Amino acid sequence: MEKETKINVDGLQFDWNIEKGIFQFEGQDAVLFWISTAMKSFFDTIEEISGIEASSLVFETSGFRQGLVVGEYFEKMKELSVEEAAKSITSTYASAGWGQIEIKELNYETKTLTAYLKDTWEYKINVAQGKDYGSNFLSAHFAGIFSGLLGTSIWYEVIEQQIEGHDHTIINYFPSNVTITHNIHQLARKKESEQIHQLEELVDEKTRELKDLIKKLSSPIIPVLEGIVVVPLIGTYEIDRSEELITNTLNNLPSHKANYLILDLTGLDKDMSEHTASLIENICSASSLIGTKTILVGITPELSLVITKSTINFSKFDCFQSLQHGIHFALGQMGRKIL
């Protein structure tokens, strides 16, 4: 024979069937957990996985939605007024170990009320967690209950927290346009914004690193023979890169004792801009001021067509098709040759 135990507490029915492992509260399957150990571990796990901000929304959302189910259930019991339903709910919750809960200043016309909570299971979990602030499951839970009972969207404001040293947790409830769905979307947008900001910072950081690398690798001065250096021009030169090229070239020419600077244009973009043409002229002119003559090499047929359309007069510079020709010319001008 199955062993069943039934207890009636203040009109509320508790049933156990040990052989089947069933516990029922008011005819509904229920389950019991130790608050300061098992339930604390449950809360800790959610916060650890989700983070404090997201887990707070999880507790708030689940509390509200559970409360909404309770409120809608009691709202359908037309024989009970809102005041009677509120009293029945708090009595039921007290018998289930939810703590001391009292509803005050309930006004059906303004749809406002104040809840006083003391020694709730949520408070006990927060104490076990060592927190100095309260969670928001129960606060949102009663917002859900009275949204169902009052037939309108109810939200809350916590006035005092027991965990902060007050005798009760006091919560005001009032009609509001705030919704759980809105809060979820708001958090999602915030997370997206944070992720976008992090990506932007990462892109900025990598861009700075790339620019630094380009500065180090771009247009190096290559000493090929005594008195002759080569500077290869590669890609496109915007303002920052142009300034870096001019500064780097002029600062290093004296240390190489360069009589000839060979600018190799082989690596330039075919669509050379007016700015790049002006850059080449500026390097040539500045180099001549410190006694270094400039030779242009690597001028392809395509590049020569672009140069002829430029407003810069390149005819005043010695130009050659290949780097080899430029080096031989520079050597010849210096009275030397390669044997």
Query: Are 268 and 233 contacting, i.e. CB atoms less than 8 angstroms apart?
Result: yes
Q: Which residues touch 5 (CB under 8 Å, ≥6 apart)?
A: 15, 16, 18
44 and 28 in a single domain? The answer is no
Query: Which of 178, 210, 245 is the last residue in one of the domains?
Result: 178
pLDDT at position 188, please? 63
Give the CATH number for residue 272.
3.30.750.24
Categorize the per-residue pLDDT at 115 as very low, low, confident or very high, splitting at 50, 70 and 90: very high
When comparing pLDDT for 40 and 208, which is higher? Answer: 40
pLDDT digits (tens, 9 = 90+) for 249-280: 888 888 888 899 999 988 887 767 778 888 88
Which tokens sit at 166? 């007050």
1 and 66 in a single domain? The answer is no
Give the CATH number for residue 66.
3.30.1380.20
Residue at 94 is within a domain: yes
131 and 1 in a single domain? The answer is no
Residue at 27 is within a domain: yes
Q: Residue 122: which domain range? A: 34-178
Residue at 315 is within a domain: yes
Eight-class DSSP state of 35: I
7 and 58 in a single domain? The answer is no
When comparing pLDDT for 207 and 290, which is higher? Answer: 290
15 and 88 in a single domain? The answer is no
164 and 150 in a single domain? The answer is yes
Amino acid at 336: R
pLDDT digits (tens, 9 = 90+) for 68-100: 888 888 877 767 888 888 898 999 899 989 999
91 and 226 in a single domain? The answer is no
Distance (Å, rounded) from C-alpha 318 to C-alpha 293? Answer: 9
pLDDT at position 2, please? 57
17 and 141 in a single domain? The answer is no
15 and 66 in a single domain? The answer is no
79 and 151 in a single domain? The answer is yes
Residue at 199 is within a domain: no
171 and 249 in a single domain? The answer is no
Categorize the per-residue pLDDT at 131 as very low, low, confident or very high, splitting at 50, 70 and 90: very high
Count of structural domains within the chain: 3
Residue at 276 is within a domain: yes
Query: Are 17 and 3 contacting, i.e. CB atoms less than 8 angstroms apart?
Result: yes
170 and 302 in a single domain? The answer is no
Residue at 77 is within a domain: yes
Q: How confident is the prediction for the chain on average, in pLDDT?
A: 85
- Could you count the other beta carbons within 10 Å of the beta carbon of residue 230? 22
Percent of the chain topping pLDDT 70 = 91
Residue at 189 is within a domain: no
Categorize the per-residue pLDDT at 1 as very low, low, confident or very high, splitting at 50, 70 and 90: very low
Residue 312: pLDDT over 90 = no
Distance (Å, rounded) from C-alpha 74 to C-alpha 81? Answer: 9
Categorize the per-residue pLDDT at 237 as very low, low, confident or very high, splitting at 50, 70 and 90: confident
| Residue of 149, 33, 136 whose CA lies nearest to 90 | 149
pLDDT at position 78, please? 66
Residue at 200 is within a domain: no
Eight-class DSSP state of 168: S
- Could you count the other beta carbons within 10 Å of the beta carbon of residue 231? 21
